[in-house]
Amino acid sequence: MTIQWYPGHMTLARKKAAETMALTDVVIEVVDARLPEASSNPMIHELRLHRQRPCLKILNKADLADPLVTKAWLGYYNHQPGIKAVAMSSKKPADVAKVPKLCQALAPHRDDNLKPLRMMIMGVPNAGKSTLMNALVKRRVAAVGDEPAVTKAQQRFDLGPRMTLVDTPGMLWPKIEHPSDGLMLAASHAVGRNAVIEEEVAVFLADILLRRYPALLTARYAFAVAELDGAAVLEAVARKRGCLLKGKGGEPDLEKAAMLLLTDYRSGALGRISLETPASRAAMLAAPGDRATPPLDTA
């Protein structure tokens, strides 16, 4: 399954973002720590480089990601010019409190009343931008929801006399080049449900879990995973959780089981899971053709 989701408001959001970028000193890009590259919008990268703006890349939801993998991603990004990467949870005030100083360090020339620091928050839908925005402003100014694309217009706020902050709508890009990126985004709920078949997304997720975190599947659902594939995992979840179709002779309800598995992953109930690593990303990009599942790696 190839996933593409680019609602009409995102076209306008990109145009407005390009205009605002000209008046911005630092871009705060919020990505999902569980899939940092798959959730990095290439349009943001292009806009930022065109204006030569430094980036504070926030690997958000780090409390849901594999900490060893997150450490590898931080090393990967912090070796890139113009980028400062940090891992955090936008739900933790102590983490959020560090953001203004980190941005200031990227633009030291903007530090007085005549030249206030101008920051801009960008990222894919449902990565936690609105939660971060509310925490920075210290009041509820951005709508927060479990569905992607809740924010649909820019908002500007002052964080004091020396700092301004613009929040932007979550944006995907017109064509997701790699199928596994679209599936990772869908698994993490960055894509609208009308664009995905949740059973296929859940099977994709189960395949990754079998390869990298089989013990977490067993711990959560109490079944052995040896010799199972992603589809068999979904059926096993259905039977363990009593997801059976009425009048079908005990046939598993795979749609309901898919939602259970996806919800357990998204909430962290399954454990701390990362869907990609720097090594798996490099292997995927180097492989001929498109891969549906990121390659296994040990990084």
Q: What is the pLDDT of residue 253?
A: 94
Reported as type and span, the H/E element at residue 211 is: helix 198-212
Instruction: Decide if 86 contacts 100 (C-beta within 8 A).
Output: no
> How do beta strands 83-87 and 55-60 pair?
parallel
> Tokens standing for 132?
């971060």
107 and 158, same structural domain?
yes
Reported as type and span, the H/E element at residue 167 is: strand 163-167
Q: What is the pLDDT of residue 149?
A: 45
Q: How far is CA 104 from CA 28, 68, 109, 123, in A?
A: 12, 28, 9, 20
Lookup result for tokens 């609602």: 7
Residue-number span of the structural domain to which 89 is assigned: 8-167
236 and 109, same structural domain?
no
221 and 160, same structural domain?
no
pLDDT tens for each residue of the chain, 299 residues long: 566 555 555 566 677 888 888 889 999 999 999 999 999 998 889 889 888 999 999 999 999 999 999 999 999 999 999 999 999 999 999 999 999 999 999 999 887 777 889 999 999 888 988 889 888 888 766 555 455 445 556 788 888 888 999 888 877 777 888 889 999 999 999 887 776 789 999 999 999 999 999 999 999 999 999 999 999 999 999 999 999 998 767 899 999 999 999 999 999 999 999 999 999 999 988 887 655 566 556 44
Q: What is the pLDDT of residue 296?
A: 59
Apex 129 CA angle, 123 and 131, nearest 5: 170
> Does residue 298 belong to any structural domain of this protein?
no
> Does residue 299 belong to any structural domain of this protein?
no
CB count within 10 Å of CB 190 equals: 23
d(CA 134, CA 143): 9
Q: Among 117, 145, 167, which residue terminates a domain?
A: 167
> Does residue 233 belong to any structural domain of this protein?
yes
CATH code of 220's domain: 1.10.1580.10
Instruction: Decide if 245 contacts 232 (C-beta within 8 A).
Output: no
Reported as type and span, the H/E element at residue 237 is: helix 230-240
213 and 77, same structural domain?
no
The verdict on pTM exceeding 0.85 is: yes
Task: Give the residue ranges of DSSP H helices in 63-158.
Answer: 67-78, 93-96, 99-106, 129-137
> Does residue 190 belong to any structural domain of this protein?
no
Nearest Cα to 121, choosing from 131, 109, 111, 106? 131
> Does residue 178 belong to any structural domain of this protein?
no
256 and 210, same structural domain?
yes
160 and 28, same structural domain?
yes
> Does residue 174 belong to any structural domain of this protein?
no
d(CA 115, CA 263): 45
Q: What is the CA radius of gyration of the chain?
A: 20
> Does residue 188 belong to any structural domain of this protein?
no
Q: How many folded domains does the chain comprise?
A: 2
Q: Among 152, 167, 182, which residue terminates a domain?
A: 167
113 and 216, same structural domain?
no
Lookup result for tokens 């059926």: 235
Q: What is the pLDDT of residue 57?
A: 98
149 and 22, same structural domain?
yes
74 and 159, same structural domain?
yes
